[in-house]
Structure 1
Amino acid sequence: MTPLVQAEQAVLGAVFLDPGQLDHLSPWLRPDHFSRPMHAAIYAAMLKLRADGHPATTMNAGEPLPLAWVTDTVEKASTHIRGLTASYPHGLVAVCPSPAHAPVYGRMVLEGAIHRSVAQHAIRLHQAARADGIRGGVEETVQHAQILSDVLTDLAHRWGTAPRPLTPPAPSESSAPQSQPVDEEVLADEEFLLGCLSVRPDQLRGVIGWLHPDDFADAGHQHIYRSLGALHHRGEPIDQLTVLWETQRRGALADGTLDAERVLRICDPLAFSGAAEYFGERIVQASLVRTAATAAKQVRALADTESLAPGRLIGYALHVLGPLDDVRRRWRTASEAVPEPLHPTSPPTPPPTARIDAARSRSHPQLTADAPAMAASAATRPAVPDRDHRRSPA
């Protein structure tokens, strides 16, 4: 028998011996804080009898306790739970060290409920993130992330502490979060976006406020995006060579994260054309799902640490959710700024080879009288998100 179960038995036994203890317990201890359904049903029956004005709950100190308090509690609890016998309350009374310590036993029950509740909601957040990652959505993740945050705030108030984030101690190597496998489609989106920004640097103004380097799942893509942002910030020209030079200055080539051929291929001006905001929003969405899954696993690990006091558990969990809250805010900004994708009835785009050949032919126009007009028409043609002409990541 665990200490938590013993605490639940002790608090119920204390109330059987002294119904007046409900005055100290009822404001903050609820039936769902008990881990065992039978204990929850007994405590709920006690609260209901007290609300109905049962004589045992209005007695003065020193008066003999009526036997009806036990029998009525068992009768009412039995309407919600099966298997409860008249002898069980006597066993609860026998294991109660002291009825006067009921508030302390109740806080033990609440402490166990806090760990259990945080773990359950962390599991639900992780499941939602995995499901959204498969179907390409984000709504379930956002909903369960908000629920977990609200639960932590409510539990903090019930425990009597402020819902304030606390920095947990540095994790050991064995408990550090492991990298998650990334879908190839996400990596392709990232590479396509970087190519779009390299070809049309003016699009950086539309994404740089809400798209962060850490949103990219691939470390090499993070370096390229940082390089693009640095060049944009300094007002320097952006092309294949300037991006390659900036990544080299940042050490990405020296440490093996990138190689020159990969940078030049991603920044190839003939390979990419599309709306950066659309694919930037997709990358932030994927980042939100990954961040939620990682945060959920960390919160679950904290909740499973029984030696962690509730106040610290809540504070550490709120700290872990901090990066997720940041991505959620930026995702909302991105989803408001992203243009609508192509309508399903739009004509199909040419295959990748045909698109590249067409781009090359446009780069060497024929010397005809209509060439200036054709060039102006092509320059004003709006770019649309098109993922059919992306190259596979190296």
Structure 2
Amino acid sequence: MNPLLRAEQAVLGAVLIDPGQLTRLDWLAPDHFYRPVHQALFGALRTLRDDGHSALSDDGPVPLSWVNNAVDEAGLHVRGLTTSYAHTLISACPRFEHAPVYGRMVLEGAIHRTIAQHAIRLHQAARADAVQGEVEGALRTADVLTGVLTDLARRWGTDPRPVAPTTAPAAVTTVSPPVQSDQVAEDERFLLAVLTEQPRAMDEVVDWLRPVDFADPAHGQVYRCLGALHHRGEPIDRITLLWEAQRRGLLADGTLSGEQLIAIGDGMLPGSAEWFGHRVMRSSLTRTAAASARAVRALAEDEALGPGRLINHALHALGPLDEVRARWATAKGSPAPKPTASAPSAGGPPPARVQAARARSAPRPTPSPPVQPSPVPAAAPSRPPSRARP
């Protein structure tokens, strides 16, 4: 059986056996459970607790009304839940005093699942932007993913900071989103032609455009040669470009051919280097967003990766996107975006983060043996289910 399913059953069974365990699970939310019936039942148990159910104040055996009322309350939000399943949950709990550990397992599963879902959304947004020639959707979705990672780090009790994984995720591929490849290649050729044929054209793009922004590696190498000539203050034309490519060994290793370099600019009309550079940058940003999304998803699907490392590795995987985004802001004359995650403050982690970590790991005194719900309802009248959850 799936360990995550067993953990969800165990934590619910522990609370049904001992309602007081809810006070040790304040950091666990209903949406952290995978199965909808478990989400509804945990939410119902919290509702009964918040409404002051008698089971939390009685010192004697846990009344059967605690189980019945929880099933009735959860039944308002999900179908198929029966009292017999509630008793199955009780049987599935080995030790009710281990509820925080079971809850931690549920939270771990939720962290992996949530990060994977948001990574998929980022990839979809990048694909859509690549087709439409935009970047706003991918940037917004990346901001949402960053916020989710930061919130999950707070719940888990760690500092969100980018940390490189020791080994690259096995599932990461180099497949690019489905863009209009012919159009992208044409934009790159036009840009290289403008940079080669127009003096001072490099001044318009050199501060924010990089060789890695070109989809065609050969085009990136040509731009690298142009950048080297510009940096040394040498004149740029087709002959000097051919000479620089030869000095870098690009002709000898077959990366470029002399015919390719001499043909740059043939049949091209004059244009704006900045305009074509923006088009190349947009394509680069969506490709980088898609690559980051695939890397984050691969990390989230690694079940052996702990939540703390997963969050920090995912933030590191978003680093290339942050770098391209900062250069895009420079190209557009916009303020630079805020960094993905800040370093931990010198004053130590916030109290809420410390409390979250302690709730999972602090030793607890050994409680009395578990008390199963009485087979006969208590004398107190049964509480009718609430029609509204807080």
Fold equivalence (TM over 0.5): yes
What letter corresponds to residue 110 of structure 2 in structure 1?
A: A
In the alignment, which of 104, 107, 120 is matched to residue 107 of structure 1?
104
Tell me if 1:178 matches 2:174: yes
CA contact (8 A) 2:172 2:298 kept: no
**Partner-residue secondary structure (3-state), 2:83:** coil
The 5 Å alignment of 1:123-272 reads: 123-171=120-168, 175-180=171-176, 183-268=181-266, 271-272=268-269
Tell me the distance in 2 between the aligned counterparts of 1:201 and 1:32: 60
Tell me the distance in 2 between the aligned counterparts of 1:57 and 1:30: 19
What letter corresponds to residue 261 of structure 1 in structure 2?
A: E
- Post-superposition CA distance 1:3-37 (Å, at most 9, x none): 000000000000011111111111x1111000000
What letter corresponds to residue 47 of structure 2 in structure 1?
A: K
User: Could you tell me which residue of structure 2 aligns to residue 345 of structure 1?
Assistant: none
Q: Percent identity?
A: 58
- Post-superposition CA distance 1:48-81 (Å, at most 9, x none): 1111222223445xx3212211111111110000
TM-score, reference length from structure 2 = 0.82
Tell me if 1:69 matches 2:57: no
CA contact (8 A) 1:288 1:328 kept: yes
- Post-superposition CA distance 1:89-132 (Å, at most 9, x none): 10000010111100000000000001100111111111111111
What letter corresponds to residue 163 of structure 1 in structure 2?
A: P
User: Could you tell me which residue of structure 1 aligns to residue 373 of structure 2?
Assistant: none
Identify if the C-alpha distance between structure 1 residues 58 and 334 changes in structure 2 by more than 3 Å, giving closer, same or farther.
Answer: farther
What letter corresponds to residue 294 of structure 2 in structure 1?
A: K
Tell me if 1:16 matches 2:16: yes
What letter corresponds to residue 23 of structure 2 in structure 1?
A: D
User: Could you tell me which residue of structure 2 aligns to residue 3 of structure 1?
Assistant: 3
CA contact (8 A) 1:126 1:293 kept: yes
TM-score, reference length from structure 1 = 0.81
| Structure 1 segments unaligned to the other structure (5+ residues) | 338-394
User: Could you tell me which residue of structure 2 aligns to residue 318 of structure 1?
Assistant: 315
| Structure 2 segments unaligned to the other structure (5+ residues) | 335-390
- Post-superposition CA distance 1:122-149 (Å, at most 9, x none): 1111111111112222221111111111
User: Could you tell me which residue of structure 1 aligns to residue 38 of structure 2?
Assistant: 39
User: Could you tell me which residue of structure 1 aligns to residue 284 of structure 2?
Assistant: 287
Tell me if 1:278 matches 2:275: yes
Tell me the distance in 2 between the aligned counterparts of 1:108 and 1:23: 17
User: Could you tell me which residue of structure 2 aligns to residue 88 of structure 1?
Assistant: 85
What letter corresponds to residue 44 of structure 2 in structure 1?
A: A
Tell me if 1:97 matches 2:94: yes
What letter corresponds to residue 177 of structure 1 in structure 2?
A: T
Tell me the distance in 2 between the aligned counterparts of 1:274 and 1:107: 59
User: Could you tell me which residue of structure 2 aligns to residue 78 of structure 1?
Assistant: 75
User: Could you tell me which residue of structure 2 aligns to residue 57 of structure 1?
Assistant: 56
CA contact (8 A) 1:45 1:77 kept: yes
What letter corresponds to residue 11 of structure 2 in structure 1?
A: V
What letter corresponds to residue 178 of structure 1 in structure 2?
A: T
CA contact (8 A) 2:190 2:265 kept: no
CA contact (8 A) 1:239 1:267 kept: no
Greater relative contact order, per chain length (Cα 8 Å cut-off, separation 6+): 2
Identify if the C-alpha distance between structure 1 residues 176 and 71 changes in structure 2 by more than 3 Å, giving closer, same or farther.
Answer: closer
User: Could you tell me which residue of structure 2 aligns to residue 358 of structure 1?
Assistant: none
Tell me the distance in 2 between the aligned counterparts of 1:318 and 1:187: 31
Tell me the distance in 2 between the aligned counterparts of 1:299 and 1:149: 11
Identify if the C-alpha distance between structure 1 residues 259 and 25 changes in structure 2 by more than 3 Å, giving closer, same or farther.
Answer: same
User: Could you tell me which residue of structure 2 aligns to residue 362 of structure 1?
Assistant: none
